Every structure is written in C-alpha cells, then in structure tokens.
Amino acid sequence: MARPAAGEVNDADASMRLRTFTVDQALRTCDARGREYMSLTHDGIQRSPAENGPKPRERNMVVGQIRMHPRPVGRFHAFVLAAMVPLFLGAWLCDFAYWSSHQIEWSNFASWLTAGGLVFGAVALLCALVDIARAGARGASLTLALLLLVTWVLGFINALVHARDAWAVMPTGLILSVIVALLACVSAFVGFTHLRAGAMS
C-alpha cells in the first residue's frame, strides 16, 4: 500500500485537532449555560430552578386554579336533566293547544308528556341526592335537589289534575304546566352550571 503524503497527514491531524477543539468548546459552552440556570437557595446548595420549584405565592396561585376548576355533573345526571326539560315543555304546549282548540287529544298528549317528565325528574332527583350523600350538602347541590323536588311534586299534582275528565283540566292544568316547565328549565340551568370543587378541594 502507498503511504500517505506528508501534506495529507498534516491535514488529517489538523482536522482531528479542529474536531477535538470544537467538541471541547461545545462542552464548555453547555457547561457555562448550565451554570447560568443554577441558583443558590437559602441553605447555600446549588440547585436548578426546576428543583427549587415555584415560589410560595406562585404555588398558591396554582393550587387556587386547581380548586376553581369546574367539574360539571355526571353524564347520566346531565342526560336525565336534559330529557326532563322538553317533556315538561311539551306538556305545557299541549295544554296551551288544548286551551286554544278544545281538542281532547291535546290533553291526553299533555298527560303522557307529564308522566314521562316525572320519570326522568325522579331519576334526576335520585342522582342529586346521591351526589349530596357522596360530596356533602353544599349550596349548589342542595339548591339543585330542592328545585328538582319541588318540580317533581308539582308535576305529580299536575298529573293528578290531568286525570280529570275533559275541560275540568282547565285552567289549573295549564297553570301547573307552565310552573313545572319553568322549574324544570331552572333546574337544568342550575345543574349544568353547577361548579364543584376539584380533586384538591
């Protein structure tokens, strides 16, 4: 084999020295930048900001954000709340149609819709009571349970009124349907905007 010329050897040595110098310079640069991020704590031990952690004020702000994080009602509870509203609203509209047209079919429709609303209202009330039993009686939870209870009781009375014959339902049935529908809307609004404490509260 032919031996490399002296010029080629010198070029190889220079390239190797340049690479070594570049690596050493890069290591020094990284070390210098790393020292810039080092900080002295009160006990004199050098630690990085990540090890120091947030300041007490910042830590309180983070905890406050976690505590104020909204957690809505459960999915099943939200479903029964949402299903209750259109049934009671439909009963109200059917009673209004019966009052306007004097067609007995509308009164029958109102009776069926009221019965369906009572079923979903009872399940929603049961979910609210379970939520109170698990998380304790809080302001919003207790308000939701009371609203659902009043809605269900008035709805049950409305169902008894609709059991009367023909025009004997009016005007009490229409008035109760209006009140129950409004209470159902308010209950659903309170349930869906209900803010509970997060995992750290």
Count H helices and E strands in the chain, helices first.
7, 2
Q: How far apart are CA 66 and CA 197, in angstroms?
A: 8
pLDDT at 142: 86
Mean of per-residue pLDDT scores for the chain: 74
In tens, the pLDDT along 62-107 reads 444 444 444 445 788 889 999 999 999 999 999 999 999 999 999 9
Going from N- to C-terminal start, the domains of the chain cover 6-67, 75-192
Give the pairing of strands 46-47 and 39-40: antiparallel
- pLDDT computed for residue 174 by the predictor: 94
Cβ atoms of 98 and 90 closer than 8 Å: no
Number of other CB atoms surrounding residue 44 within 10 Å: 6
Is the pTM here over 0.85, yes or no? no
Contact 88, 180 (CB under 8 A): yes
- 196 vs 29: which has the higher pLDDT: 29
d(CA 9, CA 4): 7
Quick one: average pLDDT of 15-36? 56
